[in-house]
Structure 1
Amino acid sequence: MPPPSPSPPRMAAPSPVPPAATALTPLVLACLAATWFVWGSTYLAIKLALVSFPPFFQMGTRFLAAGALLMAWVAWRGGPWPSRRQWGHATVVGALMLGGGMGATAYAEQSVGSGLVVAFIAVVPLMIAALNRLWGLRPGRVELAGIGLGLAGVLMLTQGSGFAASPAGLVAITVACVTWCIGSVLAAPPRAARPEDPAWRRGLPLAPGASGFASEMLCGGAFLMGLSVLAGERPAWPPEPQALAAWAYLVVAGSLIAFNAYMVLLSRASSALASSYTYVNPVIAMLLGVGFAGEVVSAWEWTAAGVVLAGVVLLFVGRRRGAASAAAG
């Protein structure tokens, strides 16, 4: 799910940078490559790691390891430590986004191809836009058209052979998207809401910067390990070398490098460019699944994925028009 994956990240960003201000420097290009290709490849890595690491155990150990490394870095840099209240927020958000979102994603990949899973997850920005109505933010006409088109694409996707053959996988990925979206909206109230507004108080903001993300990973990882115990999961020992390498890739490349690359993009590029991973990742994941894992994607499912991505593009176009109109007004 983005963020995500990392887990693709929460759909929060600083004020948009005008497109003209974005310079495609080597750093920006490297960060784009990380968010496009690394996040797009993590879904295949999850599937490869499932050979030795059951879904909840795999995700739990991944986020505990990444969270511990990131928190150690925060402590070494003398960064702020989360307060007790922020740890509480991290527990709820981590359980939703990482426990439900990423745990259910890995569960779905036991029976559904990684490419189809990430094509379904592409609907997340559309679901977040719909949930933001709870904060009184009503999408414009173009955004509404994008939401409707994306949801129609997801409905088409569920009729394909991949999800039709695995009702449990379909339920799991639906749960993953819903819990990821709820956690995203709670963790990052819309920018239109200010700390003095009631909408902000309904949110659960995390600690600032890397310490907030680290606390979320630690709490979410602990929640996932609890699910692993309840499910009676038993990892294979010794693990297959390929599965161990995939797990390490998820920790380092997926949860640390790509997330930091995304944060750099948010500060140096336009929000539209920084969010471009949303419609690039599904294409990357589907191509990798077909090319390296022997997954089969029908013409109908490719078409459905295209409809979903068209909806996401419309959503971002609508947001940019809305932001431009607000600035002009």
Structure 2
Amino acid sequence: MCSYKKCILLALGATLALLQGFAQATGYVDVLDLPAQDSAMAQRSPLLDVTRAGQRLVAVGQRGHILYSDDAGKQWQQAAVPVSSDLTAVSFPSATHGWAVGNDGVVLNSIDAGATWSKQLDGRQIGALLVKHYGELASADPANEQWPLLVSEGQRLVEEGADKPLLGVWFANDKLGYVVGVFNLILRTEDGGQHWTPFEDRTDNPQGLHLEAIASTGDALYIAGEQGLLLKWDETSQHFTAVQTPYQGSFFGVIGKPGEVLAYGLRGHVFRSVDGGKNWSALNAGLPVSITAATLDANGNYRLFTQAGHMLVEHPGSTQLQLVAQPGQSPVAGAALAADGSLVLVGSRGARALRVE
């Protein structure tokens, strides 16, 4: 079973494949070279993530659509985007600087609060980056058997082309950030995306499991992955180390605040740790439906959302998540707290604002 985001991407990918097949007869242009088209329906088209950029909201989704709102999600404008690849995640460490990632290994950057975007990286370059980086390490350390394997991984990416999705992005500031994706694909930048360093040797992920999301709790940085994979950044070793959890199913995301982290995912599973991931307790969602998005509300409570559109609220001290009725329930892929205290949700039916008590 795939996550909601993966399922919708597969469906969209099939649609795009049909469109591309038609386009080949009339002059095919790769989606990485085709700017996103303006659409009056963009606000109601599938969107996969949303975040705050200062007071502004920025959402990303299918066919390179990026939307921004300055009135808490009531009205949206479409940004200028140089690609038509489906976009999966977005991160703004400041009010003006942001990054978005998606299919075909694409990494986009904005320096004007999401109004316009430029392409920094795509899947046609990532394989070569791996070959060069790990080839240099292999030359400097020929006795290390890890480097040739990672060179081979890079060569495989070169041969297969730009088809590997990036699923998560997180930036600490306007310079330092990470992008993560399928088959342990992870890169780090320290200069705002001008240069990227492969980090596959810096993860405890020997099986090459998919990396679904990356997020900070304020005092720790985590990566959520499939088959119970949860990684935590260790500053001393400069390594993403594996965190043992009581669940072997896929995690689709992490959320938290200093001293606390929640990992959520398949079939309604949610786990909380208050000691840096050493021990975990289960939170009862009461629903066997995958949880695909989460945010903190204006009161600092966790709001979690399912692929069917349910909203669950976590109250401090309780292990039972409360199911909250809402109007117009629809599948949710991303959630963010707007400047006015309302919640903005995105998913298969686009974006909508939701007032909460």
Same fold (TM over 0.5): no
Query: More relative contact order in 1 or in 2 (CA 8 Å, sep 6+)?
Result: 1
Structure that is richer in helix per residue: 1
Structure that is richer in strand per residue: 2
Q: Tell me the TM-score normalized by structure 1.
A: 0.26
Q: Tell me the TM-score normalized by structure 2.
A: 0.25
